[in-house]
Structure 1
Amino acid sequence: MSVLNSTVRILEIKGKLYCGNVTETQQQIEYALEIFNNVIINLNSISSMDMSGIFMLYLLIIKAKEKKKKIVFHGLDNQVVKTAMSVAGVRRIFVGVA
């Protein structure tokens, strides 16, 4: 993770995003949303993703809007992410956010 300036935080999710780690991952990202106005989530290093991972990302969009913060997803072209979102029928929700 790296910081561009005091208002932006870049977070990278690596490996699997699934029911076994989604709660911890969500807590870390929500903490970043408390501190920073803009959070960029890099999805390029995700190797597998289940529905709980997709739902967590969706919940983060809602949380960011409630807090009047901006969340941007980088790496939506990752084939694993693209396939999981397409199968779930939610890809268009995330494309509009970035």
Structure 2
Amino acid sequence: MRRLRFFRAIALVEGVTTLALFLVAMPMKYWMGDDSLIRPVGMTHGVAWLAYIAGMIALLPGNGFSFLDYLRTFIAGLFPFGTFLNDPLVRRRRDALALA
């Protein structure tokens, strides 16, 4: 259960950094000509994405995830808002484990 809570935190950070990149850094670069946030926000997002993938590998096994759940979770990390849309699946697994 603690492992899924930690994975959800990683997924939240990954989702927030994606939003920061798309909604703050990129508009600043392309609309205002200021690319000062691209490198730090992009690097932070890259590290968060790698942590998300590492978290999938290290934290999800043994928690009732099927192959399709893994695939869905991986694909969610590739799209903006995907980690937020996938969070209910992870939360349901965490809650089911808490009841067991």
TM-score (structure 1 length as normaliser): 0.30
* Structure whose CA Rg is larger: 2
User: Which one scores higher on RCO, CA 8 angstroms, separation ≥ 6?
Assistant: 2
TM-score (structure 2 length as normaliser): 0.29
